[in-house]
Structures are given as structure tokens and as C-alpha cells.
Amino acid sequence: MSTSINWDLLHQEARAIMSKAYAPYSQFPVGVAGLVNDGRIVRGCNVENASYGMTLCAECGMISDLIASGGGKLIAVVCVDGSGNFLSPCGRCRQLLFEHGGKDMLLMTPDGPSPMSTILPWAFGPEDLK
């Protein structure tokens, strides 16, 4: 299925879910929205924990939403901070995005959409396990 990317809608969805973030310790809410290859939009927000290592990144929530709602492949993602500015995922979350979107998945950056092959060069993925 060919799905066009509505970056404005993804940005709105990321901002909306960011408002649901649970960030009492860092005061740094994050929201993320992704377009799935079947046209669905999946979302996630960060959920902190007093034991900081147990904090869940927004991307973790979005990947859970992806799997729980039927799976599929991410083709475009927008991640935002508390002001709605585009945010770069951490290394761990880049790996999550690569696993479920591949090298061609697009991530919105302040400079425009960029493929995961640029965001996470030399990525390790499912194909490396064959």
C-alpha cells in the first residue's frame, strides 16, 4: 500500500500525546507519532519512574502501540519535546525505530525528513541475524 505522509498531522499527533506524558522528575515531556504502512497512526509518550532506569521512552510506548494494534512497518515518525519542537531520539530509541521501520523509515528533523540510514548509520537489524 502506498501511503502519503502528512507531516503536519503527525506533528499534531505527537504534540497531542506529548501532553499525556508522565515526566514529574525531568519535567521533559516527549511525544512521538508514527505512520504505519497500512495508514494507521501510532503514538507514545514518555513515562518516568522514580527508579530512573525503569523510565519508558516515548518511542517505547509507540512501538507497543504499533504491535498491540496489529503490527506493520513504520514509514514516518515525528518526535517532539514539551514545546512541540522536533526532537532526536536517543540511541536506544533509534534502534527501536530501525527494528520496526528499517533503513528507509523517515524521521522528521529540524532540517526536514531524514532516513534511518542517516540517523543510525551501520545499524544492526533483523537481517543481520540470518
- Per the prediction, the chain carries an average pLDDT of 95
E-only strand ranges, 7-129: 31-36, 41-45, 74-80, 106-109, 112-115
Q: Could you tell me the end-to-end alpha-carbon distance of the chain, in angstroms, rounded to an integer?
A: 26
Q: Which residues are catalytic?
A: 59
CA torsion angle for 64, 69, 72, 73 (degrees, to 10)?
-50
CA–CA separation, 12 and 120 (whole Å): 25
How, if at all, do strands 74-80 and 106-109 pair? parallel
* Cell numbers representing residue 116 in the block: 534511518
Q: What domains, with CATH codes, occur in the chain?
A: 7-121 (3.40.140.10)
pLDDT digits (tens, 9 = 90+) for 57-99: 999 999 999 999 999 999 999 999 999 999 999 999 999 999 9
User: What is residue 1's predicted lDDT score, i.e. its pLDDT?
Assistant: 47
* Cell numbers representing residue 93 in the block: 530509541
Say what the pTM is: 0.94
pLDDT interval class at 2 (50, 70, 90)? low
